[in-house]
Structure 1
Amino acid sequence: MEAASASPSFDAFAWVEEALSSRSGDASALAPLVPQLALRSQTLAQTLHSSLQHVSLSGPALQTRLQTLQQAATPLSRRLDAVQEACASGSVSTASSAASDQDLRHLVTLHEAKRRLQSCSQALVEAARWGRNVRACFAAVEDPTLLSHALKGDSSKVKGRTGDSDAADNLAERVREMQTSLEVLKELPGAWDRKQTMERLCAQIEAAVQPRLATKLREDDLGDVAPLRWCLDVLGSVDRAHLLREEFGKARPAHVHRVWYSYTDEMQTEPDNKDDNAGEIFGNWLENFYTDVLRMLQRESRSARELFGADMVASVLLDLLHSTFEPLTKSFRDRLVHSSPSGSDFKLARLLHCFRATRGFASQTVQLFRSLETDLGVNLTGNDATTSAEGIRHIIFEPYRLYFTEYARFTSDALTDALLRLVPAFNAKNRSEEAEFEEEGQDSADVAPLEDFSQRLEEASEAVWELIDESLQQCYEFTGGAAFPEAVEAIGTAVQQFTLALSSTIPAIRKYCKAEPASPVEGATGGSLVASPDWSRFHASLALLKACGVLEAQLCTLDGRVRIRMREQLAQFLGEKSGSSSPRSRRKKSHDGTGISLVDLVDPTKLVAAVSKSWLRSEDPTRQSQFHQFEMELLDHSGSAGFDTPASRVPSATLLDEAQRAVWSWTKEVQLLTYDTVFLPITRGLETLPTNENWRKVPDEALGDLPTFSMLPQDYITMVADLLLSLLPQLEPFAESSSLESAFVASRGAQEVCVQGEWNRLGQLLHLSPAELATCQRIFGSDGKTAFTESAPTATATEFVDLWTGAVASGTLAAFLRTVCSIPLLSDMGAQQLAADLGYFHNVLSAVGGEGSFIIDDLRRALEMDVQAHIHHAEELRADQEDSEKQALAKINDCIAAMRQRALERHRLSTSSGSAAISSQFT
């Protein structure tokens, strides 16, 4: 029934009859509806009664009005009938028609005369009004007292000059009347003079009102805005209403500008402020300054509403924001770089401290604009909200835009300074020497300089990567992720400078370790053999190598951690809630230039992202492409094997790869240092090998056919063997310590780094091709048993020992071959001696992992041949052009066979010259 009764055509009786018929006359189901129907019946009866009573009362009045209308229409009906009869009648006389025409012309003439008289009357009225208004307006404008009192709102105080005061109060109305009069009188003589008078009056009004207006607007408290409304009305009458809004925006921030510039005076009067905390002082002061600005905006929003109207409040506040911060932009940037009178350098932490204050102020400003609707009844349309959001974003954060544009430079400089302060200094002077001057009984034992340097470097490495991690977090806080590519670039540059500073200590460390390539050897005189290396220096270099491994391992750990975090942050920056977005849609989001509203800026994270996106869109296309490439690699290829490498015993960085390359450059120098502490004594022992007199020895003819005994290895080769074999027990204790993992990480590629130079020198001497040179290096190469086993979960002590012994043995083999090939002459006895040395050296190489030394084996067999057989052997090797191994052996054998050939020819010449001398004596 409720649904049916809602219809305006509802018939209750018909509905009841239909309900009874559907129930075969059973009214029991309809019994509950009886009270409702009774109530509706009573309501309907009352309504009908009221309607009939109203009709009975209003009926006579309606009838009277109809009779009045009928009586008024009767004369009109008669006139229409007469006009119809006149138009229908065609028998009107010519005389009466001429009279009617003449009457009509007279009527038109009279009407025109009446119109002209009315026009003249109006012109006279307007001319009189013009004159009165001109006198009154000029009197008001030219009297400074009247304008001053009008601006103060107390014109009633001007005694005895009520008319003049009224003229000042009604100045805008009189100017509008003058403009009306000017339009009415424009066709009459004197129009040009009147126009000039009007222009002069407008100029005088503007000149008189504007300075007084500026003075009024610069008052700290405007109070009653009625005088300002009078100014707005007056300036609006001369089409200069915009001057008040412009002056309002310029003048009202005067107080906060004074507060801003008072900071410089305050800092100059407080010389106790140090540069270290000057940035924090300015950041705290900036928060208070923003509080003053916010109070000013809240106060002026009410004044703007009373003065300009509710619809103009948002735009006026935006102008006020622009006028407040635009003049301070340069000063703001200067204070971010130099926050004290002494001019401290730029620091990213100080920038972020200030940025947090600015971000908080921007959020409060957004809330202020959103509260305009509720507190002041301002109706912000969608366009107004978007314009306000864009204005807040642009105006408030403009001082920071420079640091976004040049983020890589500012960050790399600041980060480089911070990292360079962590570089430990190397002091080669042993501290125990300084302890001699201290009191007796004091413990003078101290850490050796290089071990101390390694320990401090290991301690500094953790601080280095904490700074790097903090730098990336600061980048996200400042840019929301928009400057991640520049942050990574800055990290690479800063770490490179850090490692270069570490590399600058290498010459002093080499001098301390006696590992300078061109340095004279202590204890070596007149070609005597070099003593064994100082194994304590070798152990110290291993400790430094371990510190390099710690540095690189911590870098790779940080890389994996920040890569995951940056992925989430970048997805949040692009507005992604899942990983389903395609690269094209993400790029569209990052470069979308559509406006944002105030609601989008409530969240501080979204606020920073919105600001950074606007900055990024205004950057050059190259930087935008770099950002797109970075986010595509980080978000799209993050799951590929090339980006997220699984846990490996040899860690690698994919995001901070430039930083890892910089660390690796330093590690290679430490590898060379560690290698040279053992290898350089070996090379110094081999330096005398080419000048050894044993290579030129010939059999003594006086001995005749006495039997010869097996030759023993010479001292130089036994010294080399002792050094190589003693390397094993020096490495094993270190390999079994807890330092193994870090040292193993820093030892990768040691053979290529340390040995390659010596093999290249051999290749230049013998003109070996790259393939031939690689074949020679294969004896201790990466495919041997000393190679890294990537599938193994951890490094083993055996692998570490084999790696370094193999590297030193490989370099020793190259140096030995080079010095052997530098022998000028090799006699048969010298060849036998060299074969004995090679046999001994072969055994030593086998002990340190060089079992497959095919070069030593071949040379030893060739030296046991005579010269011609040796030459033939070299030719046979050279015949196989496809085998790099045989070609390398052929060149080495050619070199040694040539030595033997030269020695043989020299022996023949000396023998023939001796025979000739003997024969000449007998003759």
Structure 2
Amino acid sequence: MPHSNHGELMDRTILSLVMQLQLSSLELNNSLEETCNLTLTSIPRSIREIEKARREATEIKKKLDKYVDIVSSLETETIDSLRLLSELDSIKMRIESVFHALREVEKVSRLTDSIESVFTTGDLQKIAEELCTMNDSLQHLRDIPEFKTQLKSVERYQERLEGLARPQLLQAFTSHDIETSQRFVNIFNKIDRNEQLMDIYYNTRLVSIQNDWNAFDRSQLPFHKWLPTFYDQTLLLINKEVSWSVDLFPPESRVVPTLIKSIFQSISMTFKKRIQNSLRPQEGQQDVSAVQRKPAIEHLITLFQTTCDFSRSVQSVLPVPEDAEETLRFIFEPFFSLQNEYAYLERTHLGVDIQALKIAPQAFQDTVGKIETNGPKLFILLDASIHRCILLTQGAEGEQLIDTISSLLSDWFQHITTLLQHLRQLAQLETPHASQSPLSPSLSAVYFDWSMVAGSLSFLQVVNKMRDRMSTFERNLKMNLLEEKSIINKAVRNQGVRPATLMYLKQYPHKEQRLVTFMETMEDVTKKLLPKPSEVLSTLSSSVHTLVFDTMFSFIKEKLESVPSLEVWPSQPQTSSLMPTFSISPSDYVTQIGEHLHGLPQQLEPFSGANNTPEPPRSTGVQNNSEDSDYQEDSQETPEEDEGDRFAFQWMSLVVRETMSLYAQRILDIKTLTDHGARQLSTDIDYLFVVIDALGVTADSTLMAILHFVKAERESYPKNAEEGEEHLRKRIANMRSLALE
């Protein structure tokens, strides 16, 4: 039963849903049918509305066409009307212009009639106002020929008013009466006398400045000491005018820069003359020969540096920075021509100073002492020349300075070379008898004047110091010029006021371009600024080394010159030929040479530690048969613990080697050598070798070979020789009259 009830409920529910669907479908169909009917009904009505709108548009178009025709007609009529209105307006404007002109004519006539009476009142302000009004009226009538004469009359009245106002204006400007000055400035502005006003103002200030400037003629001070006082007074005036003119003149008038320009334009010519006069020789030089007079370039530098200080003060007070460079150019202008002459001034000045250092030939030690004293002074003068160039031209004339220094330095070193020849003559090294030693002829056999050696070593020390100082000076010169270049470039990059040097170069464009090229070459680290003086100094140094060697070697050379002609070589012994060799004493010439060589270290010791490393002499008159490596070998054997020993040994080694070389040459010049002579010669050579060994020098291979052939017995004379010694074997055999197979 429950199951059947459930089925009935389900059937009723389904039946209910079906009925609802049928009803909904019916309603939908009815709604669609009604909508379609309404739509079909409204279509004819829409068509009618569209047709109505079309008809209305057609009517509006017709009306617009009608309006266009009306407007076109009105436009034609309006152009004629506007033309008429324009003509009427032009007539009206001419009438107004005539009316205004008549009114101005009436005003001018009235003012002309009354101006004289206004002048009689003495009221300058009222006169200025009347003239200003009259001038304004006449400006409206300037195209009317009849009133041109009136304009000239107004100008005469303005000049008359200016004449009346000038004394009071001068007094007001002079006394710095600001209220009165402002009143008169206003008067001059009203009568268009601004230019005349500024002339009066500048003239009042220039009168004061000119009085200060002319005070130098009554001063006892030199110009370079007096100028700072003038600059102080001028700067005081400028500072006062800066604060005073602000309330009196408009900023665009730039009164202060123009005042400064006017000041220096007014004194420019006399400024240049006074600078030129300050360069003349000082009173103490008036009796000196013209060659020795020199321009007082220090005074010029003092004047220029004083002006630089003044310009910096002026620059700080100028109200408009843009005016600074043009204003400062007027301040520095008197110096431009003298900066352009710097090369001549420096050459003359430095040349006179260096000329004063030149030395007259004197005694050997006195001459060397003078060179030693004046050498450092020379470089002090050269350092001062760099300083002058920087102070006066900021390095702009660096190339000319280098040319000047190069020429004068070369001349100085040539002068020292001339003195060197004088010293060689004093040491009897340049006489026809070159073998004579620097000593008294009567004592030459036993006594040697060591003072010549000491003097030449002192000379060498001086020259070496010159070379060191020369290198330092050249580095400092380049460093200073590059530093000035950096300063100038920095000023240009900062776009500030250009340095005075660039203002100067602007006057000489070719120098500016030349300076740029020169400074570019300065960047090359390998470039030598002073090649010619360096070359001359190097030659001088070599000559001094030769002098030192020649003074050391001259005594030895003299003794060896006589060796080939000694009587002992061809002589026969007066005693038994069986006398032993050890009983033969060394000859006097070789013992004197030995004593001389032993004395050299003592003479060299005071100069130890100096940079006096010897150079091989350029010309000794010796044909050195030994190898160059021998000297280098001896140099390497120098004791390392003492630089002084090394110095002495190098010179000693050089003298000893030249001694052995010349000795060997002179031995080979012997014509005949007996057995007795051979024993004497071998004794002499052995003695010399003992001395040389004591000095720590390696024996010369050529001299050792000669000793070997000299000592050889006749019966056992060598039949052959080492490579390179065959000519010695034959030569000694020939001297000893030995027959060779």
Q: Shorter chain as normaliser: what TM range?
A: 0.5 to 0.7
> Could you say what the CA RMSD is over the residues aligned between the two structures, in angstroms?
6.4
Partner of 2:551: 677
Report the 3-state secondary structure (helix = DSSP H, G, I; strand = E; otherwise coil) of the residue aligned with 1:725.
helix
Q: In the TM superposition, what is the alpha-carbon distance from 1:291 to its structure 2 partner? A: 0.9
Shift of 1:796: 2.3
Q: CA deviation at 1:295?
A: 2.2
**Aligned equivalent of 1:25:** none
Q: 2:236 aligns with which of 287, 295, 316?
A: 295
Matches of 2:592 and 2:243 in 1, distance apart? Answer: 91
2:226 maps to which residue?
285
- Alpha carbons of structure 1 residues 390 and 426: separation in structure 2 relative to 1, 3 Å: same
* 1:327, distance to aligned residue in structure 2 (A): 3.8
- TM-aligned CA distance change 1:556 to 1:301, over 3 Å: same
Task: Report the Cα distance in structure 2 between the residues aligned to 1:204 and 1:517, rounded to whole angstroms.
Answer: 101
Equivalence for 2:619: 757
The one-letter code of the counterpart of 1:301 is V
Equivalent residue of 1:757, what SS? Answer: coil
Seen in structure 2, the aligned counterparts of structure 1 residues 303 and 820 have a Cα distance that, compared at 3 Å, is farther
Could you tell me how far 1:292 is from its partner in structure 2? 1.7
Taking the aligned partners of 1:398 and 1:793, their CA distance within structure 2 comes to: 65
Corresponding letter in the other structure for 1:364? S
1:468, 1:491 within 8 Å by CA — same for their partners in 2?
A: yes
CA contact under 8 A between 2:427 and 2:437: conserved in structure 1? no
Q: Who is 2:688 aligned against?
A: 844
Report whether the alignment pairs 1:256 with 2:209: yes
Distance 1:326 1:612 in 2: 19
The 5 Å alignment of 1:102-121 reads 113-121=91-99
Alignment of 1:541 onto 2:456: yes
Which aligned pairs between 1:894-905 and structure 2 lie closer than 5 A?
none
Q: Do the aligned partners of residues 693 and 460 (structure 1) sit closer, same or farther apart at CA in structure 2, a change above 3 Å counting?
A: closer
Contact 2:379 2:473 in 1 (8 A): yes
Query: Does 1:623 pair with 2:515?
Result: yes
Partner of 1:727: 596
Counterpart Cα distance in 1 of 2:229 and 2:491: 36
Q: 1:812 to 1:163 in 2, by over 3 A?
A: same
Q: 2:609 aligns with which of 723, 737, 741?
A: 741
Residue correspondence of structure 1 range 582-601 to structure 2 within 5 A = 589-590=489-490, 592=492, 595-596=495-496
Identify the residue that residue 185 of structure 2 maps to in structure 1. 229
Change (3 A) 1:90 1:758: closer
Pairwise CA distance, 1:290: 0.8
User: For residues 553 and 169 of structure 1, do their structure 2 counterparts lie closer, same or farther at Cα, with a shift above 3 Å needed?
Assistant: same
Instruction: Indicate if the aligned counterparts of 1:348 and 1:411 stay in contact, CA closer than 8 A.
Output: yes
Deviates more, 1:287-296 or 1:621-630: 621-630
Are the counterparts in 1 of residues 127 and 161 from structure 2 also a CA contact under 8 Å? no
- The structural deviation recorded for 1:873 is 9.2
TM-score by length of 2: 0.63
DSSP 3-state at the match of 1:796: helix
Distance 1:525 1:263, change over 3 A: closer
Q: Distance in 1 between matches of 2:448 and 2:170?
A: 86
Change (3 A) 1:517 1:616: farther
Tell me which residue corresponds to 1:181: 141
Q: Summarize the Cα distance change of 1:124–1:728 in structure 2 as closer, same or farther, 3 Å threshold.
A: same
CA displacement at 1:613 relative to structure 2 = 5.9
CA change 1:536–1:327 in 2 (3 A) is closer
1:574 is matched with: 486
Q: Return closer, same or farther for 1:501/1:101 CA change in 2, 3 Å cut-off.
A: closer
Q: Could you give the per-residue CA deviations for residues 355-402 of structure 1, whole angstroms, max 9, x where no partner exists?
A: 443233223223322xx4xxxxxxxxxxx42x2342355343444556
Q: Would you say the 8 A contact 1:256–1:293 is kept in 2?
A: yes
Match 2:299 to one of 346, 350, 355: 350
Q: For 1:790-826, what per-residue CA distance to the aligned partner results, in whole angstroms no more than 9, with x for missing partners?
A: x9686223x23332233334555666677789x7xx8
Aligned to 2:633: 784
Q: 1:796 to 1:313 in 2, by over 3 A?
A: same
State how far apart, in whole Å, the 1-side matches of 2:466 and 2:440 are. 41
Deviations 1:209-268 (A, max 9, x none): 89x98998899937554697379648857xxx557657866774454345445435645x
Task: In structure 1, give the amino acid aligned to 2:250.
Answer: G
Does the CA contact (< 8 Å) of 1:325 and 1:395 recur in 2?
no
The question of whether the paired residues in 1 share the 8 Å contact of 2:108 and 2:138 is answered with: yes
* Aligned-pair CA distance for 1:109: 6.5
Q: Contact conserved, 2:107 with 2:134, CA < 8 A, in 1?
A: no
State how many pairs are aligned.
644
1:881-892 → structure 2 map (5 Å cutoff)? none
User: Equivalent of 1:795, from 626, 643, 648?
Assistant: 643
CA distance in 2 between counterparts of 1:456 and 1:741 reads 22
Q: Distance in 2 between matches of 1:794 and 1:175?
A: 103
Tell me the distance in 1 between the aligned counterparts of 2:275 and 2:373: 36
Amino acid at match of 1:309: P
Q: 1:368 to 1:98 in 2, by over 3 A?
A: closer
Alignment of 1:684-699 (within 5 A): 684=558, 692=565
Q: Is the 1:283–1:354 Cα contact (8 Å) retained in structure 2? A: yes
Contact 1:485 1:630 (C-alpha < 8 Å) held by counterparts? no
**Quick check: 2:439–2:448 contact (8 Å CA) kept in 1?**
no
What amino acid sits opposite 1:353 in the alignment?
T
Matches within 5 A, 1:68-147: 113-125=91-103
Question: In 2, are the aligned partners of 1:734 and 1:740 still within 8 Å (CA)?
Answer: no
Indicate if the aligned counterparts of 1:451 and 1:540 stay in contact, CA closer than 8 A.
Answer: yes
Change beyond 3 A, Cα 1:220–1:814: farther
Structure 1 CA distance for aligned equivalents of residues 173 and 433 of structure 2: 79
C-alpha separation between the residues in 2 aligned to 1:136 and 1:780? 122
Could you tell me which residue of structure 2 aligns to residue 362 of structure 1? 311
Q: Describe the SS at the equivalent of 1:851.
A: coil
Distance 1:214 1:727, change over 3 A: farther
Matched residue SS, 1:751: coil
Q: What is the DSSP-based 3-state SS (H/G/I as helix, E as strand, rest coil) of the residue aligned with 2:273? A: helix
What is the CA–CA distance in structure 2 between the aligned matches of 1:514 and 1:463, rounded to whole Å? 30
Q: Secondary structure at the match of 2:312?
A: helix
Q: CA deviation at 1:621?
A: 3.4
1:574, CA displacement in angstroms? 3.4
Change (3 A) 1:110 1:855: same
Return closer, same or farther for 1:621/1:200 CA change in 2, 3 Å cut-off.
farther
Question: Within 1, Cα distance between the matches of 2:121 and 2:547?
Answer: 102
TM-aligned CA deviation for residue 541 of structure 1: 3.2
Compared CA separation, residues 229 and 802, structure 1 to 2 (3 A) = same
Contact 1:416 1:495 in 2 (8 A): no
SS in 2 for 1:346: coil
Structure 2 stretches lacking a partner, 5+ long? 1-65, 287-292
How far off its partner does 1:596 sit?
0.6
Aligned pair in 2 of structure 1 residues 412, 317: CA closer, same or farther (>3 Å)? same
